[in-house]
Structure formats: structure tokens, C-alpha cells
Structure 1
């Protein structure tokens, strides 16, 4: 789904606050519409971890300019995750366009856990290979401002930006 077709920020939040994430970054708030219609198990995991405060203070450890920004590893190394079991893939035909959120995983398609990435640009080579679970509906400029990593280091970021807080809109009051 193209980002342009998504409802504006206020409507998205009012329509379904239970499936809206407010991602607070240093520069501002990013509003994310979760897509339980595409990946119900992944959306449930993201909401559960968000409600536990799991993502608060976690860094964007891998950010590749013109590709994506990855976070969700409490160790900041790219190899960590939550204590929950890995999830089975929920692949769809939904394309990886700018603003789409996908779950990171190892070579095993059924290894997504807590790490996710936000697309900075389209990446058709990811289509059908990773689980899409949401999309940015407001604040993409704040995602664009996340500190980029070195291409020589596969996007590893020195002194990376972090998530200030992440909340389910229904809980934000």
C-alpha cells in the first residue's frame, strides 16, 4: 500500500488507537499505523513489548541511508531480542515502500523477535521475504533525521540515536 493512500495522522489515531504506535524520537513523534490485517502475531508482539516499555531507550543500531533504519535490539549490537519465542513469518504481497515497517530476522524466516526496521526508500528485493506489520502515517521527517551509519560497516552507527519512548496510542491518554 502506498503511504499516500493512508489516512492523515489525526484520523488514523482516532480510528484505531489500539493499533496506533506513538514513537517518540529526539526530533519529534512518529505515528505508526499497525497492520493486524497483514501480520496479527507480529502486531501483537510489538504492542506487548511496547506496553512493557521494552523499546524505551533502545538505539537505532543499523541505519543505511536510502534504505532503512533498524532498532529493537536491547543490546544495541543487532544480535539481541526479547525473552519471548521467535515468531513464524507472516509474509504478504505488501511491498516495502518508504515508511513501511518490517520485522528483522536472521536467515531463518521464522526468527523475528523484537527487532524491526522502517523503510527510508522502496526496497522491492525485500518483498515477500520479511513480515510487514505497519506504516508511518505521520512524522516521517523525524525518521529521515535518524543518524545514519557507515556503508563500509553495513550501516552500524557510532553514537546512535535512540527511541525516547514508544507507546500504544490507546494507552497514551
Structure 2
């Protein structure tokens, strides 16, 4: 009986969100990173990422902050487009409002995708980061939105940034295209 109620409730909620995105990376890294989005863990954030991906907003956005052994950050659809003023990359978001946090008990393992934010836990917007290795100090403090299912070797090849903040100088790697997958 319980399963039938859950099934009916999920059907009444409407169609399920897309299950992932495929990121075509170009630069020092070339290839595809496939991400399974966790709509059951962070439905609001998954909806934002899939909406931006489907509209083409992520196409041409650079990896602006890449810290070796930690993570690669991208997704600034306002200031992070290839060919723009890269000095402001990482300072913007989308034209949508910031999202309230959706913290979970999913750990920040290698390949986990989290939403970037300011010190305010309810400030995630369009930027996200992908973990090179585990970062359990982030657990319960940042929204986990997905995990890499294919393309870790592409992730590992992304051009690293410099200094403590990992700012990428010169020609950064870019998300050439981001498509929603079923």
C-alpha cells in the first residue's frame, strides 16, 4: 500500500526532472564530463542547473577557479563567458534569484558536484564546482547537486589555477556546451 501511495504522489507531482547533464570541455582538457543530477537531494538546484543548461546559458562559460587536489569551479553565466572580461569571472550568477540551501548528508567525495555560494548559505545561483578529491570539511555546508558518472579523466585534465584562490590565468578551459540528458 505504501509503495502505491508514493507512486501516486510522484505521478501527481508531474514529470520528473532531467537526470543529468553532459559537459563538453575544451582547452587543456578535451572531452565530455557526464553528471548524474540528484533531484531527490536538491530539487531546486537541479531545476536551476537544467533550466540554465537547456537555455544554453552555460555554453561558453569558463572554469575560472581550479584548485589542484580540491575542485574545479565554473558556471558564472553573467561574467564567465569566454571572450569576456575574465577579471570578473566568478563574481556573477544568472538573472534568477539566489536559491535557499538544500544541505544533505551526501558526502563531498571525488566527482561530487556542489553549488558554489558566498558566505550566505542561501546564495547559490548558477555556479557549481566538481571535486577532484574528497573534501569532507564541506559536508553539510554546501548543497550537493550531482556526481560525475563518466569523464573523471577529463576533469583531471582541466587547467589548474594559481595561488590560494585557484584563479585561472591565460586561456582557461571552457564548457563548450552543456546539454541536459535523460
Shared fold, TM over 0.5: yes
Aligned position for 2:120: 108
TM-score (norm 1): 0.86
Aligned position for 2:159: 147
TM-score (norm 2): 0.82
Structure 1 residue 157 corresponds to structure 2 residue 164: no
- SS of structure 2 residue aligned to 1:164: strand
CA distance in 2 between counterparts of 1:28 and 1:122 reads: 23
- Summarize the Cα distance change of 1:17–1:85 in structure 2 as closer, same or farther, 3 Å threshold: closer
Structure 1 gap segments, 5+ residues each: 1-15
Equivalent of residue 56 in structure 1, options 59, 62, 79? 59
Per-residue CA shift, 1:78-101, capped at 9, x if unaligned?
110000000000000110010000
Structure 1 residue 47 corresponds to structure 2 residue 50: yes
Alignment of structure 1 residues 117-132 onto 2, 5 Å: 117-132=129-144
CA distance in 2 between counterparts of 1:81 and 1:108 reads: 14
Aligned position for 1:10: none
Two-structure CA RMSD over aligned residues (Å): 1.3
- Alignment length (residue pairs): 154
CA distance in 1 between counterparts of 2:45 and 2:17 reads: 17
- SS of structure 1 residue aligned to 2:52: helix
Q: Which has the larger radius of gyration?
A: 2
Aligned position for 2:24: 24
